[in-house]
Amino acid sequence: MTDTTTAPDDADPGPAPGDAPEPDDHATDHADDPGKRARAEAAAYRRRLRDTEGERDRLAEHLLGYQRRAAEDLAAVSLSRGDDLWLATDDVSAVLDDAGQVDPDKVTAAVQQVLDGRPQLGRPAAGFDLGHRGGAPGSDPATFADVLRGDRRAGG
């Protein structure tokens, strides 16, 4: 005997989710009026558009925060506080390239502008002497050989 019923995988899946907006509950009440159905569908599209625009604006705010922090991190190499960068410009777009990435050259130029006006905001130069400042002027420090000889007069 041959089965003539269609298999479940041959069945029509119907519209894919997300193809069209969900119509309002009132749209089904007015199935005989195509104008009301079209208005309800347009209203659903407008709601989706507003939701999408809101999400876009939230993401843009997050991106702006990341861009600000990246520019401040670059500025902190030369400034004691990275957020002093905004003394030169208060607009993040001034330190971005055409692709929206933080441009190190523009950040360096803005940092230099800050340091030209307020050099005290710069990061102090690193000392490579590890804190050693030497003895008092005019006194020669004792060498290890002096200590081994027992000559304690050298170096004070």
Using the CB atoms, write b or e for 118-154: b if 16+ within 10 Å: eeebeeeeeeeeeeeeeeeeeeeeeeeeeeeeeeeee
More confident residue, 21 or 147: 147
In this prediction, residues 89-100 reach a mean pLDDT of 90
In this prediction, residues 75-103 reach a mean pLDDT of 91
User: What pLDDT, on the 0 to 100 scale, is given for residue 55?
Assistant: 97
pTM of the model as a whole:
0.54
In the predicted structure, residue 98 carries a pLDDT above the cut 50: yes
Reduced to 3 states, what is the DSSP secondary structure of residue 79? strand
User: 58 — phi, psi (to 5°)?
Assistant: -65, -40
Tokens of 83: 């957020």
With a CB cutoff of 8 Å and minimum separation 6, the contacts of 124 are: 80
